[in-house]
């Protein structure tokens, strides 16, 4: 049997990526829809063959409890609504997949993890990069020390946004600006590929004065992270810069670079390696997958075989703890230590 998903929130990500991906999954299928718009609900339900009995509004959401076709509730709402719907979802007894960032704050994440634990349901944060072949390959190269040990890493994730009225520019709904939305990819990918946790961060933050996009949330965050092995990561994110989604890991005997690293597709993995006195450059060609489909099938597999997901709620919490240290560092103009590790993942 394929695991049934109730998709909550029919915005861009749900309509353009998640629902089409579900149609092609091996272990997952669409079972129900939740939306505040009756017209959209009717149209999308007809398109995907979902009956009226499996269509819900935000008011009737809790009745999913009685829908035997639904195993997982997938929250694809603005960040500021994740906590409410994850907790309400957990109380229905269904497993929860929640979009990134897990919440607005680490405190919210803790509450969500605790409620899912109490309800005995699994909680996974929808981090795509952990299921993406080029990023996984880079991590494998580092693990095998093919280029000797890593020394420093540079990561950027930037794009331009235009609509100041969108929830992404409202503090209550977004939690923050570029950092929790797109800078988060630099953070969680760095942790994923290095397989260690930062012990200290130092950051700068900037927003162009007078730009209405940045009335409530920040534009630019640039930060450094120090890891126990000695690796330093330099990351930057900006909401008003031509798109750039890349990172490079610089090792003693070579470097590994991914362009379009955090994009839905189009990744390019290139390397340069010291080979005696020569330099050898190579592009490693890998087949692309559908990251959303892979991620959902992974969660379904965890449910079928009762395993802990690769990216459980604690992964989302760990990133919030680090992001809070980043904001604190930028505000106070000093390095901030990170105490304690929330992460209890399987991939280290
Ligand atoms: P979106 O604005 O396109 O969609 C949000 C949906 O939530 C809309 O259908 C909207 O009607 C609904 N909604 C319900 N209550 C709302 C309210 N009070 N205010 C505003 N909208 C409300 O956003 P999106 O790009 O689909 O993002 C949704 C979530 O997915 C966010 O958490 C975002 O960070 C995440 N996301 C993840 C990825 C990824 O690659 N994993 C990519 C994009 C977005």
The pLDDT of residue 347 is 47
Closest residue to atom 5 of ligand 1, CA basis: 11
The H-assigned helical ranges of the chain are: 12-13, 19-23, 38-48, 82-91, 106-118, 133-143, 171-174, 178, 184-194, 291-304, 313-332
Q: Is 80 in the pocket of ligand 1 (CB under 6 A)?
A: no
Tens-binned pLDDT, residue by residue, of the chain (348 aa): 899 999 999 999 999 999 999 999 999 999 999 999 999 999 999 999 999 999 999 999 999 999 999 999 999 999 999 999 999 999 999 999 999 999 999 999 999 999 999 999 999 999 999 999 999 999 999 999 999 999 999 999 999 988 999 999 999 999 999 999 999 999 999 999 999 999 999 999 999 999 999 999 999 999 999 999 999 999 999 999 999 999 999 999 999 999 999 999 999 999 999 888 888 999 999 999 999 999 999 999 999 999 999 999 999 999 999 999 999 999 999 999 997 666 555 444
CB 142 within 8 A of CB 193: yes
In angstroms, what is the span from residue 9 Cα to ligand 1's centroid?
7
Distance of alpha carbon 37 from alpha carbon 10, whole angstroms: 9
Measure 245 CA to ligand 1 centroid, in angstroms.
Answer: 21
Q: How far apart, in whole angstroms, are the C-alpha atoms of residue 143 and residue 139?
A: 6
β-pair type (268-275, 278-284): antiparallel
For residues 148 and 277, state if they share a domain. yes
In a shared domain, residues 39 and 172: no
Q: Is the ipTM of this complex over 0.95?
A: yes
100 is annotated as an active-site residue: yes
Instruction: Let me know whether 173 and 213 are in one domain.
Output: yes
- Ligand 1 atom, smallest distance to 168 CA: 2
Residue 279 shares a structural domain with residue 142? yes
Q: What is the pLDDT of residue 60?
A: 98
| Catalytic site includes residue 204 | no
| Same domain? 133 vs 119 | no
Confidence at residue 7, expressed as pLDDT on a 0 to 100 scale: 99
CB of 100 shorter than 6 A to ligand 1: yes
Question: Residues 185, 239, 262, 327: which is the catalytic one?
Answer: 185
Q: Looking only at Cα atoms, what is the longest distance across the chain? A: 69
Residue 181 lies in a domain: yes
Which among 7, 8, 10, 11 is the best mutation to test ligand 1's pocket, defined by most ligand atoms within 8 Å of the CB?
11
**In this structure, is residue 297 part of a structural domain?**
no
Cβ distance 55 to 29 under 8 Å?
Answer: no
Query: How far away, in angstroms, is 304 Cα from ligand 1 center?
Result: 28
Give the per-residue pLDDT at 210.
97
CATH number, domain of 205, equals 3.30.360.10
- The residue to which tokens 């390019």 are assigned: 268
Helices 133-143/184-194 angle, 10° precision: 40
Residues 169 and 235 in one domain: yes
Where in 161-302 does DSSP place strands (E)? 200-206, 220-226, 232-238, 240-251, 254-259, 268-275, 278-284
Domain that holds residue 253: 129-284+319-337
Q: Which residues pair with 97 in a beta bridge?
A: 74, 124
Element (H, E) at 62: none
């Amino acid at each position: 049997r394929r695991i049934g998903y109730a998709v909550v929130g029919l915005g861009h990500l749900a309509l353009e990526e998640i629902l089409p991906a579900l149609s092609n999954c091996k272990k997952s299928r669409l079972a129900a829809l939740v939306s505040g718009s009756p017209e959209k609900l009717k149209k999308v339900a007809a398109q995907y063959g979902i009956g009226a009995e499996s269509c819900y509004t935000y008011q009737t959401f809790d009745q999913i409890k009685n829908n035997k076709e639904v195993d997982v509730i997938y929250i694809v709402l603005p960040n500021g609504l994740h906590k409410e719907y994850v907790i309400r979802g957990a109380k229905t007894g269904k497993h929860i997949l929640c979009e990134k960032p897990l919440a607005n704050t680490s405190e919210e994440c803790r509450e969500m993890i605790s409620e899912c634990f109490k309800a005995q349901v699994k909680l996974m944060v929808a981090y795509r990069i952990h299921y993406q072949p080029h990023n996984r390959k880079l991590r494998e190269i580092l693990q095998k020390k093919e280029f000797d040990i890593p020394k420093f890493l540079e990561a950027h994730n930037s794009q331009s946004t235009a609509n100041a009225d969108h929830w992404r520019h409202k503090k209550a709904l977004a939690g923050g600006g570029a950092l929790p939305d797109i800078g988060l990819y630099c953070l969680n990918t760095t942790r994923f590929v290095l397989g260690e946790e930062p012990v200290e961060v130092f950051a700068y933050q900037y927003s162009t004065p007078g730009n209405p996009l940045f009335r409530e949330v920040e534009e630019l965050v640039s930060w450094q992270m120090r890891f126990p092995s000695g690796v330093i990561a330099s990351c930057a994110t900006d909401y008003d810069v031509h798109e750039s989604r890349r990172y490079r890991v610089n090792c003693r005997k070579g470097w590994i670079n991914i362009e379009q690293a955090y994009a839905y597709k189009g990744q390019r993995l290139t390397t340069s390696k010291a080979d005696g006195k020569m330099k050898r450059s190579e592009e490693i060609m890998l087949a692309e997958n559908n990251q959303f489909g892979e991620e959902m099938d992974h969660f379904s597999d965890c449910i079928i075989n009762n395993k802990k997901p690769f990216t459980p709620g604690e992964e989302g919490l760990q990133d919030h703890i680090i992001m809070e240290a980043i904001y604190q560092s930028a505000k106070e103009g000093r390095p901030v230590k990170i105490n304690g590790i929330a992460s209890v993942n399987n991939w280290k």
